[in-house]
Amino acid sequence: MKQYNSLSEIRADIANGQVTCRQLVEHYLHNIKEQEKLNAFLETFDEEAYAQADTVDQKLADGSAGKLAGMVIGIKDVLAYKGHSLQASSKILDGFKSLYTATAVERLLAEDAIIIGRQNCDEFAMGGSNENSAFGPALNADDHTRVPGGSSGGSAVAVQADLCLASIGSDTGGSVRQPASFCGIVGLKPTYSRISRFGLIAYASSFDQIGIIAKSVEDAALLLEVMAGNDELDSTVSRREVPVYSQQLAIEEGKKYRIGYIRDCFESEGLDAEVKESILSVKDMLREAGHTVEAVEFPYLDYIVPTYYILTTAEASSNLGRYDGVKYGFRSPNVTDLNSLYKKTRSEGFGEEVKRRIMLGTFVLSADYYDAYYTKAQKVRRLIKEKTDELLQSYDFLILPTAPTTAFKFGENATNPVAVYLEDIFTVQASLAGVPAISIPVGRDSKGLSIGLQLMTRSFEESALLSFSNYILDKITVEA
Ligand code: GLN
């Protein structure tokens, strides 16, 4: 079967009688099996996917099908799906099954999407290489010796290798954008609160946002419009009306935008020369096309990674307190009393990185250090947010690389957690500020590894973000 790059291509073929949903499910399940060593899926839902496919084929035939009919989707192992295992790729949730379905997943199903399986990720979404999964890493399909990025690594590889059409992940500090960049596809982190977090396993609640990984901007727009919007089950979700993003993908003829790029980002140590060159060439292309492109100052670049890690570990240490061996999943078999039950379950159930973060978070929240770290970091977050919002008053978009490098080799950064944290330097600004950001594939380096460009914009202006992304991708294809 041919490789489809968007739902509209699939729908055209369905309409022509060239393909059915059942055949699509067959195709993707076959690919998943054939590419098993990529380790992108932890589990597939074969029978249900076929049953849903038959239902949707029937609905397509009688004209009652929803917006997502024909779309086969994988979900990251942090999204609840009733009756299915849910583990955040952690041993501590061994054997746990969801009692309900995440609102976002519920909405996909209501529009006739087919959920094909549960995808590998870094444990509790902590990481940027998928090396922290209790199930072993997912592999980058372009080069199996390299990481797919993370934490939504399995979700990105699945789309990259045509194991499903789109994936739903989560992005706390770049977990959708960075793996999308490493795998050459589109990754969208919407504005904080745009999509309900009900049924999303919490990592750092004031940052967590469900995100989309797709082959096309068009599909990302469609999935966003289906999942976004008010939800009684999440008190933090935005009540703003949801635009029909998929109908707003064309930019006005002749419209000129103001684009800012943070000068220091391009001068930052650790930015790979080929990544830099590639992003700068997009910047030049935009200038030549008549848009205003200007260097801007952002004085907090050195503070964003420490601020992010203080706040997210603090929130994580609290959120992960619930995994105590009593309520969910795994319980250590070697316990003698209640205290040892807690201790042994947590020591044996969590992986090294998760434990490191729980300890860091507990430390920054401890009475003696609370003000020095946690309170201070909250203040710095405010400064970062205010400055980012201020820049976005003068500029429609900020452009920067998604990641400082292309996909790195397994083990390359494994012994140095700080080096891994610094990989997040370009993605965490949008997360600290809560603004939407997207990664789009703009080229490849001399090793053939893909390079992602990141765009940020004002809160709730996903429509502009998506249409401008589409415009850039079209321009790159035309010029190539
Ligand atoms: N790499 C970042 C971290 O480890 C981002 C993770 C995420 O967005 N879930 O925290």
Confidence of residue 436 (pLDDT cuts 50, 70, 90): very high
pLDDT, tens only, 293-321 = 999 999 999 999 999 999 999 999 999 99
Domain ranges, ordered by start, for the chain: 7-247
Mean pLDDT of all residues in 152-164? 98
pLDDT reading at 333 higher than 90? yes
Mean pLDDT of all residues in 107-132? 98
Confidence of residue 290 (pLDDT cuts 50, 70, 90): very high
How far is ligand 1, taken at its centre, from the CA of residue 181, in Å?
Answer: 14
- CATH C-level class of 7-247: alpha beta
Which residues are identified as catalytic?
A: 76, 151, 175
Q: What is the rounded distance in angstroms from the CA atom of residue 210 to the CA atom of residue 197?
A: 7
pLDDT reading at 419 higher than 90? no
Relative to the CA of 126, which ligand 1 atom is closest? 4
Task: Say what percent of the chain tops pLDDT 70.
Answer: 100
Whole-structure pTM value: 0.97
pLDDT, tens only, 342-366 = 999 999 999 999 999 999 999 999 9
Q: Which of 76, 90, 151 to mutate to test the pocket of ligand 1 (most atoms within 8 A of CB)?
A: 151
Rounded to the nearest integer, the mean pLDDT of the chain is 97
pLDDT, tens only, 212-243 = 999 999 999 999 999 999 999 999 999 999 99
User: 315 CB less than 6 Å from ligand 1?
Assistant: no
pLDDT reading at 370 higher than 90? yes
pLDDT at residue number 422: 85
Residues 6 or more apart from 267 whose CB is under 8 A from it? none
pLDDT reading at 49 higher than 90? yes
Q: Which of 76, 175, 312, 354 to mutate to test the pocket of ligand 1 (most atoms within 8 A of CB)?
A: 175
Confidence of residue 23 (pLDDT cuts 50, 70, 90): very high
Q: What is the rounded distance in angstroms from the CA atom of residue 457 to the CA atom of residue 228?
A: 17
pLDDT reading at 415 higher than 90? no
How far CA 33 is from CA of 54, 73, 84, in Å, comes to 21, 16, 20
pLDDT reading at 93 higher than 90? yes
pLDDT reading at 479 higher than 80? no
Confidence of residue 193 (pLDDT cuts 50, 70, 90): very high
